[in-house]
Amino acid sequence: MPHEQLADLTQPQRDRLAFVELRVRFIGEMRRQDLVARFGIQSAAASRDLALYKEIAPGNIDYDGKGKFYVLGPSFQPIFDFPPERVLSWLTQGFGDGEPMRIKAWVASESPSRLTHPDLDILASVTRAIHYECPMGIEYHSISSGRTVREIVPFALIDNGLRWHVRAFDRKSQEFRDFVITRIKRPVVRKGQPVAPHEMNDQDIQWTRIVELELVPHPDQPRPEITEMDYGMRGGVLHMKLRAATAGYILRKWSVDCSPDHNLRGPEYRLWLRNHLAIYGVRSAVLAPGYRSPDQQRLEAETD
């Protein structure tokens, strides 16, 4: 029935209702002003849209009279079938919140898809906890520890090119860590529960630390001028500023040789991290191809 009712609406109406659903499902709340600001409509029109959404999808949203905004209803069932790519684009880049319909491409193209996508209900719980700045209980499955029950305080999503992670303070280990979203089960958003100062993102040294990297054409690869063209280098160097928490992911994704003597071989290593000491103390550097800390290098030299 909801789909039949949606079919009778105009495209602008369906886009606005899709926005309502995204806001409530993944942020946890929305105000009439959100519709006004996003679509440039009058407050009266926004009120009609919200009333129409409640009529089409009863139980999906409730009105919080105290806060004067709409919140996720207890019996929420989505009426729009958003693909994960669209949801993640909207959450992280702010576009793609209209009705999820197939549109004919203007030019032929092909792009590889991810191996897996996060479950949208799990993702919605994570993003609501991020928005509310509250803890959440999860069942987490890791390769090293298997199934564990944890309580985390999430604050950001991280895309490593293959999988989506959530950056969070882990109350079990008392550390800031990355959690793979596809490994999270049975999330419970604990809205209103307090968060200690040491659990806030401004206390995450790996998140607040910015590393400045200098990437150059790999000295042992032919045609460095082509590499300079491919990566938009200026003066033969690509300067990058990255959070320490994400640097290892990016260096691995780009197949950057991070060894001090550029000793990695293979056509995939077209870049070399010239200032490899810049990632000293970066925890994610364990993912960087060929990286060895100065301490490791010293131990290797002593055992030669």
Residue partners of 221: CB distance under 8 A and separation at least 6: 227, 267, 269, 270
pLDDT, one tens digit per residue, over 35-72 is 999 999 999 999 999 999 999 999 999 999 998 999 99
The pLDDT assigned to 96 comes to 85
Per the rule left: phi > 0, alpha: psi between -120 and 50, beta: everything else, 232 is left
Task: Please tell me the distance from the alpha carbon of residue 263 to that of residue 272, in angstroms, as a whole number.
Answer: 10
Q: How far is CA 131 from CA 26, 45, 75, in A?
A: 9, 26, 21
pLDDT value for 7: 85
pLDDT at 297: 65
Other CB atoms within 10 A of residue 158 CB: 20
Write down the residue that tokens 């298997």 correspond to: 146
User: Which among 25, 13, 89 is positioned nearest to 55, based on CA atoms?
Assistant: 13
The pair phi, psi for residue 48, each rounded to 5°, is -65, -40
What is the CATH architecture assignment of 2-80?
Orthogonal Bundle (1.10)
Q: Is 154:136 a contact under the CB 8 Å cutoff?
A: yes
237/217 Cα distance (integer angstroms): 8
pLDDT at position 250 is 96
Rounded distance, CA 56 to CA 66, Å?
25
Parts of the chain with a pLDDT under 50: none
Alpha-carbon torsion (197, 202, 206, 209), positive or negative: negative
Contact indicator for 199, 153 with CB cutoff of 8 Å: yes
Topology, domain 120-199: SH3 type barrels. (2.30.30)
- Residue 82 corresponds to which tokens in the numbers above? 């958003």
Give the model's pLDDT for residue 106.
67
Give the global pTM: 0.89
pLDDT score for 294: 75
On the CB side of 131, CA atoms within 13 Å amount to 18
pLDDT tens, 240-281? 999 999 999 999 999 999 999 999 999 999 999 999 999 999
Q: What are the distances in angstroms from CA 139 to CA 126, 131, 177, 181, 285?
A: 13, 20, 15, 11, 27
In this predicted structure, what is the pLDDT of residue 161?
81
Q: How far is CA 172 from CA 143, 181, 186, in A?
A: 17, 18, 17
Question: What kind and span of H or E run contains 138?
Answer: strand 136-142
**170 by DSSP, 3-state: which?**
strand
Domains of the chain, residue spans = 2-80, 120-199, 209-303
pLDDT of residue 44: 96
Query: Helix, strand or coil for residue 58?
Result: coil
Residue 29 to residue 24: CA distance in whole angstroms = 5
